[in-house]
């Protein structure tokens, strides 16, 4: 089982190999171009028998080998991993091997070492080294491109591969291009992929098929439309090399990509037989309100649409409109839990204290999962940790689709942190992994995970959580400064001589 959920940029790297294995679940050989920090080769399922890595800079390999040991394993400790110090194009030209999967993650695309790894000629070389049903995954950071360059890359891939899709994991700062010459069938294979590599997918926040499919922003037909008329990127007219430094002045970025892909993304999602309200909730949690709004018409019945609009209003800061929409949805269908979930978000403190006069708690009590959560939160407020612990088996039965899955996972983690037992606290890290890696965008999971890391003696988990908190938009300026100070002062050697002080200060940030 993976030891920790990574911070968001690392999660994108871990997505690369896993995404390819959804498209090609029978893959046995993997070639990774660019070692980076080694996160792409972490937790590759055992079904892959060989992992070759081409890295041009020997000092990068030396640095990864020297990574301190903590909860997370060193990525190069895997016996399947073989390192080749070479330029990627040279390495591919000098071998006659064919691979089931090739993953390419060159960094700054204007540099000499990277710029020639986005061209048609390179993609043709990759295609020549893939088995007939092999899959290629290419990364690009959204801070390095504008719309013109992104369209050019998609157009270039489509000149070589018949199937091209684009994913934006966690709707974050990087996109992954998935390409092949055979149908990709990700939607059909997602459930099987999650079942065969559950722990690995949990480390990037994916527990059910929707957690993968919601991040597909362009499928094959949409990528064809997106790339229509765009100029291909070639060795002799390298638009990426010339254009990416200029794009730094006004990059597409996360928000620009969300707006650009909102319509095709929601059109694709609308055609799938999935839990659309679940997807919408997570789009809202990511503050991706444009695609969430576009998904509303795909919901049924109409009461569920009002509940969805209430969540969007709440995320936009209009609590009065949210409350009105939730009650409208509740009156339309009192058996639907969705509007009462929204009302719980609005009135959580009063509901837990038992001072809410609106009957929301009574309705929540009719749902087994919501009732278990509510009882647990009341026990937590009363400081009755033994009761919280006793409720753990019931909380564990709450399905990832359930509206109250995330708060139940936090509650299950909380008593483990409070136990003070390092082994039990390590269980809390595992429970919080999917939340911290992308299922939940707030600070609660990261604050709790940082405290769990202190108890468990897990320096890498602590630093990842503090890093996230130091960049959070949900904390005040003073709180962010406190998180930054904690990150600077944390003893990453694993001894934590000031663990009690750190824990106290983290608790002061927890709301």
Domain 8-267 CATH class label = alpha beta
Q: What angle do CA 462, 472, 323 make, to 5 degrees?
A: 125
CA dihedral over 302, 275, 257, 439, signed as positive or negative? positive
What pLDDT was estimated at residue 89? 92
Computed over every residue of the chain, the mean pLDDT equals: 87
Q: What is the three-state SS of 180-203? A: ECCCCCHHHHHHHHHHHCHHHHHC
What pLDDT was estimated at residue 350? 93
Strand 174-180 with 163-167, pairing:
antiparallel
pLDDT at residue 330 is higher than 90: yes
pLDDT level of residue 434 (50, 70, 90 thresholds) = confident
Structure tokens at 424: 């039990």
CA dist., res. 197 & res. 157, Å (int): 28
Listed in sequence order, the residues at least 6 apart from 337 whose beta carbon sits closer than 8 Å to its beta carbon are 363, 364, 367, 370, 403
**pLDDT tens, residue by residue, 90-129:** 999 999 999 999 999 888 888 888 899 999 999 999 999 9
Listed in sequence order, the residues at least 6 apart from 62 whose beta carbon sits closer than 8 Å to its beta carbon are none
What pLDDT was estimated at residue 103? 95
Strand 29-33 with 81-85, pairing:
unpaired
What pLDDT was estimated at residue 357? 82
CA dist., res. 143 & res. 434, Å (int): 25
Phi, psi (deg, nearest 5) at residue 193: -65, -40
What pLDDT was estimated at residue 479? 55
CA dist., res. 24 & res. 135, Å (int): 7
Please report where in the chains the tokens 């707006």 appear, as a residue. Answer: 259
How many Å separate Cα 308 from the centre of its chain? 22
**Element housing 83 (H / E):** strand 81-85
What pLDDT was estimated at residue 484? 58
What pLDDT was estimated at residue 3? 39
pLDDT level of residue 439 (50, 70, 90 thresholds) = low
pLDDT at residue 394 is higher than 50: yes
Nearest C-alpha neighbor of 461 from the set 474, 472, 470, 448: 448
Distances (CA, A) of 299 to 128, 263, 281, 381: 44, 16, 12, 36
**Element housing 218 (H / E):** strand 216-218
pLDDT level of residue 490 (50, 70, 90 thresholds) = low
Strand order of the sheet with strand 50-55?
Answer: 81-85, 50-55, 29-33, 99-104, 130-141, 174-180, 163-167, 216-218
Query: CB 206: neighbour CB atoms within 10 A?
Result: 32
Distances (CA, A) of 426 to 74, 111, 373, 451: 18, 41, 22, 11
Q: What residue ranges do the domains of the chain occupy?
A: 8-267
Q: What is the three-state SS of 474-504? A: CCCHHHHHHHHHHHHHCCCCCCCCCHHHHHH
Task: With beta carbons less than 8 A apart as the criterion, state whether 493 and 459 touch.
Answer: yes
Task: With beta carbons less than 8 A apart as the criterion, state whether 220 and 165 touch.
Answer: yes
CA dist., res. 90 & res. 86, Å (int): 7
Stretch among 13-22, 149-158, 179-188, 474-483 having the lowest mean pLDDT:
474-483
**Element housing 301 (H / E):** none
Please report where in the chains the tokens 């996109």 appear, as a residue. Answer: 175
What pLDDT was estimated at residue 124? 97
449 versus 130: which is more confidently predicted? 130
What Rg value do the Cα atoms of the chain yield, rounded? 23
What pLDDT was estimated at residue 494? 45
Stretch among 145-149, 176-180, 274-278, 436-440 having the lowest mean pLDDT:
436-440
pLDDT at residue 8 is higher than 50: no
């Amino acid at each position: 089982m993976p030891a920790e959920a990574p911070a968001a940029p690392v999660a994108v790297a871990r997505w690369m190999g896993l995404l390819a294995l959804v498209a090609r679940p029978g893959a046995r050989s993997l070639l990774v171009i660019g070692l980076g920090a080694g996160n792409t080769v972490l937790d590759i399922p055992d079904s892959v028998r060989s992992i070759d890595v081409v890295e041009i800079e020997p000092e990068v390999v030396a640095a990864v080998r020297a990574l301190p040991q903590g909860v997370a394993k060193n990525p190069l400790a895997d016996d399947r991993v073989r390192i080749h110090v070479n330029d990627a194009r040279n390495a591919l030209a000098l071998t006659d091997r064919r691979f089931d999967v090739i993953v390419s993650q060159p960094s700054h695309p204007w540099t000499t070492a990277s710029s020639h790894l986005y061209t048609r000629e390179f993609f043709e070389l990759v295609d020549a080294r893939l088995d007939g049903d092999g899959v290629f995954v290419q990364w690009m950071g959204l801070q390095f491109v504008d719309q013109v360059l992104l369209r050019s890359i998609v157009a270039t891939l489509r000149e070589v591969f018949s199937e091209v899709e684009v994913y934006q994991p966690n709707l974050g700062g990087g996109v992954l291009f998935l390409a092949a010459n055979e149908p990709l069938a990700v939607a059909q294979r997602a459930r099987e992929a999650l079942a065969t590599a559950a722990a690995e997918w949990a480390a990037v926040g994916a527990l059910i098929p929707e957690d993968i499919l919601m991040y597909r922003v362009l499928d094959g037909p949409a990528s064809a439309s997106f790339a229509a008329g765009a100029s291909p990127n070639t060795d002799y007219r390298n638009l990426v090399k010339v254009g990416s430094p200029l794009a730094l002045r006004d990059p597409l970025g996360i928000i620009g990509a969300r707006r650009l892909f909102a319509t095709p993304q929601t059109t694709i999602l609308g055609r799938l037989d999935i839990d659309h309200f679940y997807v919408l909730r997570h789009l809202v949690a990511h503050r991706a309100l444009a695609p969430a709004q576009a998904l509303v018409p795909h919901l049924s019945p109409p009461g569920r649409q009002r509940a969805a609009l209430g969540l969007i209003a709440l995320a936009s800061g209009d609590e009065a409109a949210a409350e009105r929409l939730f009650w409208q949805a509740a009156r339309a269908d009192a058996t639907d839990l969705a509007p009462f979930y929204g009302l719980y978000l609005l009135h959580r403190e009063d509901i837990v204290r038992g001072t809410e006069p609106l009957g929301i708690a009574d309705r929540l009590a009719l749902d087994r999962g919501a009732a278990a959560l509510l009882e647990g939160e009341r026990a937590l407020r009363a400081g009755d940790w033994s009761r919280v612990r006793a409720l753990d088996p019931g909380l564990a039965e709450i399905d990832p689709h359930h509206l109250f899955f995330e708060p139940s996972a936090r509650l299950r983690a909380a008593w483990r942190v409070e136990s003070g037992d390092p082994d039990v606290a390590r269980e809390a890290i595992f429970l919080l992994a999917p939340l911290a890696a992308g299922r939940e965008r707030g600070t609660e999971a990261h604050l709790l995970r940082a405290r769990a890391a202190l108890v468990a003696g897990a320096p890498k988990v602590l630093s990842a959580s503090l890093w996230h908190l130091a960049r959070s938009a949900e904390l005040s300026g003073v709180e962010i400064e406190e998180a930054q100070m904690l990150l600077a002062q944390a003893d990453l050697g694993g001894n934590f001589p000031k663990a009690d002080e750190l824990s106290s200060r983290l608790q002061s940030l927890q709301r």
